[in-house]
Copies of this chain bind each other. A is one copy, B any other.
């Protein structure tokens, strides 16, 4: 039941070029005294396309008290690039899709015969709303050997349409699930439990923890 057509706009195709190192480019490093940036994109290379997954850390904002809260939840960044020859991929034609925590949860809990579909409009709530549509479909392969990932992007602003397919075997899918399960607590900031759940913090917890108050489910 996979009926999505794959077409390619002429305009976009002419801009294509092939980077010699056959991979995505990396932005310059910035920030003094911070741990170095590490790029950990994990790629699933197939004959017709490649799928790369990479986590994006959440952003924190400072509260007046000096405490922090999550300003933007982290996500997992998907990059799809079509093949441009044997073991070469056309990164200039790559399409991207950013998985939210809930979408990650959906992929983690997807049964071997289940499908899911996510719709993104990058301009939602803005003047160009509806002009770019992205659809990620994940469906079981007909031979039961895994799932097919398909990202379709329709961009009416530059008259471009692209649909890229990457078959993902059960083993590759299990790697994704393991990575996603590992990443989720970090994407939502729960890894900071490692700082607060320390015996050395006993005094703070005893004296200043807000949950000692009456609000703690009436000190249940």
Contacts and interface: CB of A to CB of B under 8 A. Distances in A.
Interface of A: 26-31, 34-42, 55-63, 65-71, 73-74, 77, 96-98, 101-109, 116, 120-124, 132, 134, 169-175, 178-179, 181-199, 201-211, 215-220
A37 B215 CA distance: 18
A196 to B, nearest CB: 4
A182 B187 CA distance: 12
Copies of this polypeptide in the complex: 4
A179 B175 contact: no
Contact of A210 (B27, B61, B174): B27
Given A35-B195, A60-B201, 14 more contacts: A36-B66, A37-B68, A38-B195, A39-B67, A59-B209, A101-B175, A102-B171, A105-B172, A106-B174, A108-B174, A122-B219, A178-B184, A181-B181, A192-B199
A186 B194 contact: yes
Given A106-B171, A192-B40, A197 B66 contact: no
A172 B102 contact: yes
